A and B are shown apart, each in its own frame.
Chain A
Amino acid sequence: MLIRRPPRFAMNDRDVTPQSSYMNRRDIIAGLTAATGFAAFPQTANAKVAGPETYKPLVGSKTKYKVEDPNAPWKAVTGYNNFYEFGTGKDDPAKRAHTLITDPWDVKVEGEAENIGTFALEDLIDFNALEDRIYRHRCVEAWSMVIPWVGLPLGPILQRFAPNSRAKYVQFFTKNDRKQMPGTRWPVLDWPYREGLRMDEAMNPLSFLAVGVYGRVLPNQNGAPLRLVLPWKYGYKSIKSIVGIKFMEEQPDTSWNLSAPREYGFYSNVNPQVEHPRWSQASERVIGPQTGLRGALARRDTEMFNGYADAVAGLYAGMDLHKFY
């Protein structure tokens, strides 16, 4: 914010204007100037983030999931993302997510499964069996980051709830708490945030439940304590801070699809050939370790299924991906 004092030479006015009206006018002008400065000076998304050492370390075993390109810096992964429950600015999550309480954390499992109920985080996740996975994260806003997650494959965890034969889909819910998540006081989306997958998508070995990033527990802004990571889909499918899992027979609602069905489909697979009404998806800005002009301008062509076609293309065999976007 800018508050400017009127320059000295304005003081000459005192000689010729009665004191009362002079004060009045000066106040008005000072106010106007300050208001102008404030109003005309927007902020840029640029959060100061706490370093990794602030977060508890997690040990994961090395896996084959890697990306050729270098990881995005910690500052980018934890300081620049979308998590509308904390505001719509890209730096809002980093600035405001500290109010989220992640311990204790329960997940309610319901719907078409045998083993339903409410489970504590520690009962869902074996913190001694974690894996490291490096995935490319592709946001629908046409930027990407390479991110080293820590967590467990989703499929085996879902199996433990023993979904029945009617379970064709699975839906996930983010925590929805007006006190802890100030962004939910305004209906940017129809809260709680929800996402969904077809069961075979959820069972795909790429589908991952993350509890950490960069060998540390997830910072709140990244969806602590438990989030999905689906690297072949646009980022918003990778739902954060999960408190609910529901097995369903019908295709579930998803938040962005409810908000703008023409822009965000149920599948939301990364696909450079399907145009988005806002952003061309043919290429993406790379948010990586490079700085300076080269870093700012870095782009790459977007790959089909974000480069994971070998692992997931079979899920969509015979489907018209222009229709099922």
Chain B
Amino acid sequence: MLALKSLLAWLKPVFFIGLSLPALWLVWQWAMLLGGFPNDLGVNPIEATNRFLGDTALRILLITLAITPLRDITGIVALSRLRRMAGLFAFFYVCAHLSSYLGLDLFFSLAKLWKDIVKRTYITLGMTAFTLLIPLALTSTNGALRRLGPKRWKRLHWLIYPAALLAVTHHYFMAKGFQIMPLVHGAILLFLLGWRLIKLWRHQKP
């Protein structure tokens, strides 16, 4: 028990730092760019930024969904405690991804954003995924869990599954041609969802 506790004690901060690294790296790169120094953003820094944030958001979303299966496999129950942090990080990167698009691409034109949402399938999908994640982020506190009650809270947070499916589809439709990365992300997601379905099915068997 003691080992587990100390494990958690450093796992959480390490995980926190790990998930912050992409953001810190990006801020550092932009600082270099603004200062006129060499940086890793390449010749199209806005595209690089938006894609980096989109990829990071999606991967952390997948990491969030991987925690429960990992807990089941390793038997380390404490891993569950990382789920909320991962989910909030995913939401943070989605917000940054959306903001970079709105700010650096559309120069803050909400009219243009609306036109894109109506017109471009991959933006419609991304925006729907983002919208589904908002209530989850808002009810991520212990207080909200208490107020809603665990049953309703669980039912609400089930929304992460359609959100993740939409996010992968967003990536698939955004990519030109028949590309491999959206399929890799999709396969990982299907595995993670399949894991839960099988568990559910086993549970219900008499």
Contacts and interface: CB of A to CB of B under 8 A. Distances in A.
**Is chain B found bound to chain A in the same assembly?**
yes
Interface of A: 2, 4, 6-7, 9-10, 12-13, 16-17, 22, 25, 28-29, 32-33, 36-37, 39-42, 44-47, 72-73, 75-76, 79-80, 84, 88, 90-91, 143, 186-189, 256, 259-260, 275, 277-278, 280, 285, 287, 291-293, 295-297
B177 A277 contact: no
Nearest to B175: A88
Interface stretch (B1-9, B157-165, B195-203): B1-9
A42 B56 contact: yes
Nearest to A14: B3
B48 A45 contact: yes
A292 B40 contact: no
Contacts of B108: none
A12 B6 contact: yes
Nearest to A22: B3
A277 B180 CA distance: 21
7 contacts: A2-B21, A80-B42, A80-B44, A186-B180, A278-B122, A278-B174, A297-B46
B21 A44 contact: no
Given A25-B7, A285-B44, A188 B179 contact: yes
Contact of B14 (A7, A41, A73, A256): A7
Contacts of B43: 72-73, 75-76, 79-80, 287
A73 to B, nearest CB: 8
Contacts of A41: 21-22, 25, 56
Q: Most chain-A Cβ atoms within 10 A of its Cβ — which of B2, B34, B44, B52? A: B44
A36 B40 contact: no
Interface of B: 2-3, 6-7, 10-11, 14-15, 18-19, 21-22, 25, 29, 33-36, 40-48, 51-52, 55-56, 59-60, 62-63, 70, 74, 76, 104, 112, 116, 119-122, 174-181
Contacts of B60: 40
Contact of A297 (B19, B56, B104): B104
A293 B35 CA distance: 9
Contact of A291 (B3, B36, B62, B176): B36
A277 B178 contact: no
A4 B45 CA distance: 28
A44 B40 contact: yes
Given A40-B60, A46-B41, A88-B179, A293 B33 contact: yes
Contacts of A189: 177-178
Contacts of B180: 88, 186, 188
Contacts of B18: 2, 4, 33, 36-37, 40
B119 A6 contact: no
Contact of A44 (B19, B52, B62, B119): B52
Contact of B34 (A13, A22, A39, A293): A293
Contact of B62 (A37, A39, A275): A39
Contacts of B121: 277
B52 A42 contact: yes
Given A45-B44, A88-B180, A285-B46, 13 more contacts: A7-B10, A7-B14, A10-B7, A16-B3, A33-B14, A37-B18, A39-B63, A41-B56, A42-B52, A42-B56, A79-B43, A88-B181, A291-B36
A242 B194 CA distance: 46
B180 to A, nearest CB: 6
Given A88-B179, A293-B33, A42 B44 contact: no
6 nearest interchain CB pairs?
A: A42-B55, A46-B42, A76-B43, A188-B177, A44-B48, A17-B3
A143 B104 CA distance: 14
Given A39-B63, A291-B36, A90 B44 contact: yes
Q: Most chain-A Cβ atoms within 10 A of its Cβ — which of B47, B63, B70, B104? A: B47
Contacts of A188: 177-180
B177 A259 contact: yes
